[in-house]
Amino acid sequence: MPWRGRLDARRASFSQTLAGAVAASSQFPGQGDAVLLAGRAAYTTAMHGASLTAATVLVVAATVTLTLLRGADLTFTRPEARQP
Protein backbone atom coordinates (compact mmCIF):
# COMPACT_ATOMS: atom_id res chain seq x y z
CA MET A 1 0.00 0.00 0.00
CA PRO A 2 1.57 3.27 -1.07
CA TRP A 3 0.11 5.33 1.77
CA ARG A 4 1.70 3.26 4.53
CA GLY A 5 5.14 4.85 4.12
CA ARG A 6 3.67 8.33 4.29
CA LEU A 7 1.61 7.36 7.32
CA ASP A 8 4.66 6.12 9.20
CA ALA A 9 6.67 9.22 8.30
CA ARG A 10 3.97 11.62 9.49
CA ARG A 11 2.77 9.68 12.50
CA ALA A 12 4.57 11.94 14.96
CA SER A 13 2.88 15.05 13.60
CA PHE A 14 -0.69 13.84 13.98
CA SER A 15 -0.50 11.34 16.80
CA GLN A 16 -0.46 13.99 19.54
CA THR A 17 -3.65 15.96 18.88
CA LEU A 18 -7.12 15.52 17.45
CA ALA A 19 -6.44 18.42 15.08
CA GLY A 20 -3.41 16.57 13.75
CA ALA A 21 -5.53 13.48 13.10
CA VAL A 22 -8.11 15.57 11.26
CA ALA A 23 -5.38 17.13 9.12
CA ALA A 24 -3.84 13.73 8.41
CA SER A 25 -7.17 12.19 7.45
CA SER A 26 -7.43 14.53 4.48
CA GLN A 27 -4.04 13.38 3.17
CA PHE A 28 -4.95 9.70 2.87
CA PRO A 29 -7.75 9.11 0.37
CA GLY A 30 -9.69 5.99 1.18
CA GLN A 31 -8.04 5.59 4.59
CA GLY A 32 -8.71 9.07 5.94
CA ASP A 33 -11.91 8.01 7.64
CA ALA A 34 -10.09 5.27 9.54
CA VAL A 35 -7.42 7.74 10.71
CA LEU A 36 -10.08 10.23 11.76
CA LEU A 37 -12.09 7.57 13.58
CA ALA A 38 -8.99 6.35 15.43
CA GLY A 39 -8.08 9.92 16.40
CA ARG A 40 -11.54 10.64 17.74
CA ALA A 41 -11.61 7.37 19.67
CA ALA A 42 -8.21 8.10 21.22
CA TYR A 43 -9.27 11.63 22.16
CA THR A 44 -12.50 10.42 23.74
CA THR A 45 -10.70 7.69 25.67
CA ALA A 46 -8.13 10.16 26.97
CA MET A 47 -10.84 12.62 28.03
CA HIS A 48 -12.68 9.87 29.89
CA GLY A 49 -9.48 8.95 31.71
CA ALA A 50 -8.76 12.56 32.61
CA SER A 51 -12.32 13.10 33.83
CA LEU A 52 -12.20 9.97 35.96
CA THR A 53 -8.89 11.04 37.47
CA ALA A 54 -10.20 14.54 38.23
CA ALA A 55 -13.35 13.13 39.83
CA THR A 56 -11.28 10.77 41.97
CA VAL A 57 -9.04 13.61 43.17
CA LEU A 58 -12.13 15.69 43.97
CA VAL A 59 -13.71 12.92 46.03
CA VAL A 60 -10.47 12.26 47.91
CA ALA A 61 -9.99 15.97 48.62
CA ALA A 62 -13.57 16.31 49.87
CA THR A 63 -13.19 13.25 52.08
CA VAL A 64 -9.93 14.51 53.58
CA THR A 65 -11.42 17.96 54.15
CA LEU A 66 -14.50 16.60 55.87
CA THR A 67 -12.40 14.26 57.98
CA LEU A 68 -10.06 17.02 59.12
CA LEU A 69 -12.87 19.49 59.84
CA ARG A 70 -15.08 17.02 61.71
CA GLY A 71 -15.60 18.30 65.22
CA ALA A 72 -13.78 21.59 64.60
CA ASP A 73 -15.31 24.77 65.97
CA LEU A 74 -16.06 26.80 62.87
CA THR A 75 -18.07 29.61 64.44
CA PHE A 76 -17.05 33.11 63.52
CA THR A 77 -16.59 35.65 66.27
CA ARG A 78 -16.31 39.28 65.41
CA PRO A 79 -13.22 40.94 66.88
CA GLU A 80 -13.98 43.72 69.29
CA ALA A 81 -13.62 47.23 68.00
CA ARG A 82 -10.36 48.93 68.96
CA GLN A 83 -10.58 51.92 71.23
CA PRO A 84 -8.46 54.86 70.11
Residue 81 lies in a domain: no
Domains in the chain, number:
1
Region class of 80: left (phi > 0), else alpha (psi between -120 and 50), else beta: beta
Angle (CA) 34 11 28, round 5°: 40
pTM score above 0.85 = no
Residue 77 lies in a domain: no
Of 25-29, 48-52, 65-69, the range with the highest mean pLDDT is 48-52
- Which alpha helices (H) appear in 15-74, and where do they start and end? 18-25, 32-69
Element (H, E) at 26: none
Residue 59 lies in a domain: yes
pLDDT at 19 over 60: yes
Residue 53 lies in a domain: yes
What is the pLDDT, as a whole number, of residue 47? 92
Q: Which residues contact 38 (CB under 8 A, 6 or more apart)?
A: 21
Residue 50 lies in a domain: yes
Residue 32 lies in a domain: yes
